[in-house]
Amino acid sequence: MVRREQLHQCGPVVWEIPPTVRPDMRVPARIYASAELLEQILRDRSLEQLINVATLPGIQQAAIVMPDVHEGYGFPIGGIAAMDLQEGVISPGGIGYDINCGVRLLVSELSVTEVQARLEQLAKSLYQAVPSGVGRGGRFKLNVRELDKVLEYGVQWALAEGYGEEEDLNVIESRGRIPEADAGAVSREAKERGRDQLGTMGAGNHFVEVGYVDKLFDESIGRVLGLKQKQVVVLIHTGSRGLGHQVATDYIRIMLAALSRYNIRLPDRELACAPLQSPEGQRYFRAMCAAANFAWTNRQLITWEVRQTWQEVFGESGGRLRILYDVAHNIAKIEQHTIEGRTQRVLVHRKGATRAFPPGHPETPPMYREVGQPVLIPGSMGTASYVLVGAPGSMEQTFGSTCHGAGRQMSRHAAKRAVDAERLRSELRQRGIVVQAGSVRGLVEEAPIAYKDVDAVVHVVHTAGIARIVARLRPIAVIKG
């Protein structure tokens, strides 16, 4: 285990493990955390995993973790690693099995008081409209040709089929499509696994949540984002479902078999990787982009399901649901960054980390460019979620990245032992939160006690100057698989 005394404090919320701690480290390991969160982080093996990441070929500047970090498999969850495009590797484990797991925020024209009377009905209808799809299919069943279009065109396919509005594209990271995607790089098995899962949220920590703007910390930025006090919003958290999981499984196996060809030695098999410029690396990159396009399309189809439901429940008086933004938090992207004074393109792995481009960045949608790219941070079930915007420090310190959520601190099993389902339901009800969940087990596993304090997590990234807190959201209905 990494010991507290091996860390150097570099700033109020920044710590570093120097590369001298282990001879195979190529760069330092950097941690963003308050002193309290650091104590929690030191309890699991996140930092050993971070040191392992610091050994990967071609890693630039530092292996980085956010305050919501926790132990994963291979890479820690909450990690960022930028790789040189020529000398560096690409690692499926640095992205995660749920490729382009991400968050989308829809904002309504209604206030919380206008929604309250029909909240139960809304929650029930959303639960029926957005299936979990765990072990069963959703409403969209595509043939292989259509699925290939989804993989290569992403949200553009959905709009062409009538599942959205043209302006939706402007507020989705990468406009819902990475053009390097190649459906031919995705296995038949992966396609088969995901074929009927579009428009489904999955289980685990995935959800659709109805909430409202509880506090605006920055009213001028809030105005640019179109956020108002008490405004009702809908948060969608899901990813590429079985298709993405199978892409990762396939390529980890392929890359493990190729390690000796590229003379790569790893401390953990889950760090399986290949040089980005190798045939295996290139093929995985194209498959990963295709899975990312699938995930954005999945969130688009869920948006369509939510919009339909909204209209059924509220009719014309419900107004429209506008997408505020959609961010990926499990992905690798080729981006331009400045490293030691030199501007270069690198492959940024974000596993449980969110892109957070600052004001003025050319990839931020024009309507948000003066304030920075919106960042969506879901809290644990029943607690607050946050809207932030990217800040200039993200480009200087973290390859344009920030945290992605509250961060799990308790195992699912431990949560089940610690939490009584009925008591949890009743507590949530007392706080005015309606719950529609597929299973009691799923509910208790996601109880707030199982997660870190999201307020403390976002405070760290705000203090570090990598993202700026704009608004706090409070849930009123949670819909889970």
Partner 1 sequence: MAFGYELHPHTADIRISLWAETFPELFQAAVVALAEILFPQGCEGRPLIVRRRVAVTAPDSTALLVDFLSEVLLYSQIRKALFCRFCPQSVQETFVEGKLRGCRVEGFQQDIKAVTYHEAEVYRLSQGYGARLIVDV
Tell me which residues touch partner 1 (CB under 8 A).
Answer: 44, 70-74, 77, 97-98, 132, 134-137, 189, 192-193, 202-204, 242, 245-246, 248-249, 252-253, 256-257, 268-270, 272, 408-414, 439, 441-442, 481
Tell me whether residue 206 or residue 355 sits nearer to partner 1 (CB atom). 206
* Closer residue to partner 1, CB minimum distance, 98 or 173: 98
Tell me how far, at minimum, the Cβ of 403 lies from partner 1, in Å: 15
- Residue 161: exposed, middle, or buried by beta-carbon count in 10 A (0-12, 13-18, 19+)? middle
Q: At closest approach, how far in Å is the CB of 248 from partner 1?
A: 6
Least Å distance between CB 273 and partner 1? 13
Which residue's CB is nearer to partner 1, number 106 or number 437? 437
Considering the complex, what minimum distance in angstroms separates the CB of residue 331 from partner 1? Answer: 16
Residue 333 pairs in a beta bridge with 348
Min CB(19)–partner 1 separation in Å: 24
Nearer to partner 1 (CB atom), residue 206 or residue 468: 206
Minimum CB separation of residue 467 from partner 1 in Å reads 23
Active site residue 404: yes
- For residue 38, give Cα distances in angstroms to 292, 383, 479: 32, 21, 32
Residue among 94 and 442 whose Cβ is closer to partner 1: 442
* Closer Cβ to partner 1, 267 or 392, answer by number: 267
**Strand duo 330-339 + 102-111: pairing:** unpaired
Q: Which is nearer to partner 1, 246 or 297 (CB)?
A: 246
> Least CB distance from residue 375 to partner 1, whole Å?
22
Beta carbon of residue 193, minimum distance to partner 1 (angstroms, whole number): 5
What gap in Å lies between CA 241 and CA 191, rounded to an integer? Answer: 11
Query: How remote is the C-alpha of 278 from its chain's centroid?
Result: 27
Q: Toward partner 1, which CB reaches closer, 97 or 304?
A: 97
Q: If DSSP states are collapsed to H, E and C, what string results for the chain? A: CCCHHHCEEEECCEEEECCCCCCCCCCCEEEECCHHHHHHHCCCCHHHHHHHHCCCCCECCCEEEEEEEEEEECEEEEEEEEEECCCCEECHHHCCCCCCCEEEEEEEEEEHHHHHHHHHHHHHHHHHHCCCCCCCCCCCCCCHHHHHHHHHHCHHHHHHCCCCCHHHHHHEHHHHCCCCCCHHHCCHHHHHHHCCCCCCCCCCCCEEEEEEEEEECCHHHHHHHCCCCCEEEEEEEECCHHHHHHHHHHHHHHHHHHCHHHCCCCCCHHHCCEECCCHHHHHHHHHHHHHHHHHHHHHHHHHHHHHHHHHHHHHHHHCCCEEEEEEECEEEEEEEEEECCEEEEEEEEEECCEECCCCCCCCCCHHHCCCCCEEEECCCCCCCEEEEEECCHHHHHCCCEECCCCCECCCHHHHHHHCCHHHHHHHHHHCCCEEEECCHHHHHHCCHHHECCHHHHHHHHHHHCCEEEEEEEEEEEEEEC
The residue annotated as part of the active site, out of 404, 413, 459, 462, is 404
The dihedral region occupied by 14, where left means phi > 0, alpha psi between -120 and 50, and beta the remainder, is beta
Closest Cα partner for 130 from 232, 210, 198? 198
Which residue's CB is nearer to partner 1, number 240 or number 297? 240
Q: In the complex, what is the shortest distance from the CB of residue 77 to partner 1, in angstroms, rounded to a whole number? A: 7
- Annotated catalytic sites, by residue? 404
